[in-house]
Chains A and B, each alone.
Chain A
């Protein structure tokens, strides 16, 4: 029996290695041919032009801005929701909210994209008086909703796990329930809440379908100072997905390189967030 478990574990690790090796092997050649700096920091992506140009900085920046924006909206909303659910909500309300969060987690991303297309994109167009609402902002809004389940569920679990004794001690010192929640329970659940944020970032940065449907999917540089929030943009994920079907030659290889960059990017973000957020978490 022991052997079966071991085999399962090894199989999982094997897949991770396989994917890593495959991405590296298939991603390197294009980077080599295009040139690392031209590829990573080139601002123009024109893969099918007569004089093709393969700069992916627009995608990298879009993914960074999109994820950061989604977390900027999603973290506070998810965090306060989690504190409410765990510490203040009456049981019935808690059950309804947790049910809603579960449901949100189960909705396929294409449905998020669809709702984004039908509601958020026209909404942005109307509110800001734009010719087209498909934009970085639309993607940020959709992503911020998509990260909520990870943030809320993991944070609620962490907050629920805070020993009741800590809260009793705080209340017995004369602190009220709000002070107790934020000054005792939240710090005690810090590492779990940090983990929820890491999961949320992972979800946001890796999302392709929904953002493709609402971001316009045009390889513009997202220049925030020049109203880039309202520009149509393309993410790292969607850059791969949208051209893969008809790509060939160097273009196809470049798409693999983008996938490699995305992969390394996610590893890097996870490593950084883990070290920052969990530092000083104590036991």
Chain B
């Protein structure tokens, strides 16, 4: 597997996002180099690599959150369900509805738990109270936090613990019925117990959503992901089945990284 970048040798799956020859610059600084990757539907794809390797940058190209950065320039294509998301016809708001995102630091809005979850549906035009109630409940259930908050939906979300806040953020993302969930180091700010709850949750959600997760924690990638992509200096070094990659990495740099020789 010499041209590791992109082609996967292991089991075949249906892809939901195809990234082709993607390069990205922040001003003069090239942050991604010709990345090709097929992200599988109904699978968990982990993005690993040392800090500054471009994995978070790559994640943010998938829902165009990089558009918000000044002086960013992107080349190549990212197709979601066959549509180039960087084409001028793309409705960015709709794209971000269909590709949800969970951030590194839990960031619930400073409003009630209910309003946090209802924010997305309201933004996209759902006004009926009964329908909102339904969405809020199902989203909170799906993110395994319903039982903890059902009696205090009207209280401020900032009163929740960090782990609960992060699950609330997941519920908020699910409330707009996305197809894909992007998670940017969702557990790095959490304690081990909260972390394992988020991991369990990710495994459950995989049945209904495709998940791309950036993680610093290689054990986490092993525990939950189906596929792993290893980034180094903005380059996709190796991409493949998680089990295979961690047992028999094909690239020397991958091996060095996963055995802890750097990073």
Are B109 and A188 in contact, with the CB atoms below 8 A?
yes
Of chain A, the residue at the smallest CB distance from B112 is A282
Asked whether any CB of chain B lies closer than 8 Å to the CB of A32, the reply is no
The answer to whether B123 and A174 touch across the interface, beta carbons within 8 angstroms, is: yes
Q: Given contacts A173-B97, A175-B93, is CB(A282)–CB(B119) below 8 Å?
A: no
- Size category of the binding interface on chain B: 20 to 34
**A260 to B: closest C-beta gap in Å:** 41
Are B65 and A168 in touch, CB under 8 angstroms? yes
Determine the distance from Cα of A176 to Cα of B65 in the docked complex, in whole angstroms: 12
User: Which of these binds chain B: A47-55, A113-121, A179-187, A232-240?
Assistant: A179-187
Cβ contact within 8 Å between A170 and B119: yes
Measured in the bound complex, the distance between the Cα atoms of B69 and A71 in whole Å is: 37
Q: Is the CB–CB distance between B169 and A169 below 8 Å?
A: yes
| CA–CA, A184 and B115, complex, Å | 11
Other-chain residue from B92, B93, B172 in contact with A169 (beta carbon distance below 8 A): B172
Does B93 lie within 8 Å of A174, measured CB to CB? yes
A172 lies within 8 A of chain B by Cβ: yes
A166 to B109, CA, bound (A): 6
Cβ-Cβ contact count across A and B, 8 Å cutoff:
71
**CB of B146, distance to nearest CB on chain A (Å):** 20
Whether the pair A176, B93 counts as a contact (CB closer than 8 A) is yes
Point out the residues of chain B lying under 8 angstroms from A168, CB to CB. Answer: 65, 68, 103, 107
Q: A174-B93, A175-B93 are in contact. Are A283 and B156 (CB under 8 A)?
A: yes
Residues of B within 8 Å of A165, CB to CB, are 103, 105, 107
Cβ contacts under 8 Å, A163 to chain B:
107
Q: Is A110 an interface residue (CB 8 A)?
A: no
Convert A90-116 into 0s and 1s, putting 1 for each residue whose CB lies closer than 8 angstroms to a CB of B.
Answer: 000000000000000000000000000
Shortest C-beta distance, A228 to chain B (Å), equals 42
Q: Bound state CA distance, A282 and B110, in angstroms?
A: 8
Contact between chains at A171 and B96 (CB < 8 Å): yes
A283–B112 alpha-carbon span in the complex (Å): 12
A134→B103 CA distance, assembly (Å): 58
* Residue in contact with A171 in the complex, picked from B65, B105, B110, B172, CB distance below 8 Å: B65
Residue of chain A at shortest CB distance from B155: A282
Give A172 to B107 CA distance when docked, in angstroms. Answer: 12
Residue tally, chain A, CB below 8 Å to B: 19
Instruction: From the candidates A172, A183, A187, A283, name the one contacting B96 in the complex (CB within 8 A).
Output: A172
B50 within 8 A of A: no
Q: Mark contacts of A130-174 with chain B using CB atoms, 8 A cut-off: 1 yes-contact digit, 0 otherwise.
A: 000000000000000000000000000000000101101111111
Given A168-B65, A282-B110, the answer on whether A173 and B103 have CB atoms closer than 8 Å is no
The distance from the CB of A35 to the nearest CB of chain B, in whole angstroms, is 50
- Whether B224 is near chain A, meaning CB under 8 Å from some CB there, is no
Shortest distance between the CB of A70 and any CB in chain B (Å) = 30
Which residues on B sit within 8 Å (CB–CB) of A175? 93, 119-120, 123
Specify which chain A residues have a CB less than 8 angstroms from the CB of B105 in the assembled complex.
Answer: 165
Which chain A residue shows the least CB distance to B93? A174
The residue in chain A whose Cβ has the minimal distance to the Cβ of B107 is A165
In the complex, chain B residues 58-80 whose Cβ is within 8 Å of any chain A Cβ: 63, 65, 68
A172 and B100 contact, Cβ closer than 8 Å, known pairs A183-B119, A282-B158: yes
A171-B100 in contact given A163-B107, A282-B110, A282-B156 (Cβ < 8 Å): no
Contacts of B124 in A (CB 8 A): 174
CA distance A172 to B97 in the complex (A): 7
In the complex, are the beta carbons of A174 and B120 less than 8 A apart? yes
Contacts of A188 in B (CB 8 A): 109-110
Question: Given A176-B93, A283-B156, A283-B158, do A169 and B107 touch, yes or no (CB 8 Å)?
Answer: yes
How far is it, in angstroms, between the C-alpha of A168 and the C-alpha of B111 when the chains are bound? 16
Q: Which residues of A contact B100 (CB under 8 A)?
A: 172-173
Q: Give the contacts of B146-191 with A (CB-CB under 8 A).
A: 156, 158, 169, 172-173, 176
Query: Contact at B158–A174, with CB atoms within 8 Å?
Result: no
Contact among B95, B110, B176 for A283, CB-based, below 8 A:
B110
Tell me, yes or no, whether B94 is within 8 Å of chain A by CB.
yes
- Give A178 Cβ to nearest chain B Cβ, in Å: 11
B119 x A173 contact (CB < 8 A):
yes
Distance in Å from the Cβ of A186 to the closest Cβ of chain B? 11
B102 to chain A, nearest CB (A): 9
B90 to chain A, nearest CB (A): 12
B177 smallest CB distance to A (angstroms): 11
Given contacts A172-B65, A172-B100, is CB(A166)–CB(B110) below 8 Å?
yes
A residues at B contact (CB < 8 Å): 163, 165-166, 168-176, 179, 183-184, 187-188, 282-283
* Top-9 shortest CB links A-B: A165-B107, A174-B97, A172-B101, A173-B120, A174-B96, A174-B93, A175-B123, A169-B107, A282-B156
> What 6 additional pairs, Cβ within 8 angstroms, besides A169-B107, A282-B110?
A172-B173, A173-B97, A174-B95, A174-B124, A176-B93, A188-B109
Question: Residues on B close to A: CB < 8 A?
Answer: 63, 65, 68, 92-97, 100-101, 103, 105, 107-111, 119-120, 123-124, 156, 158, 169, 172-173, 176
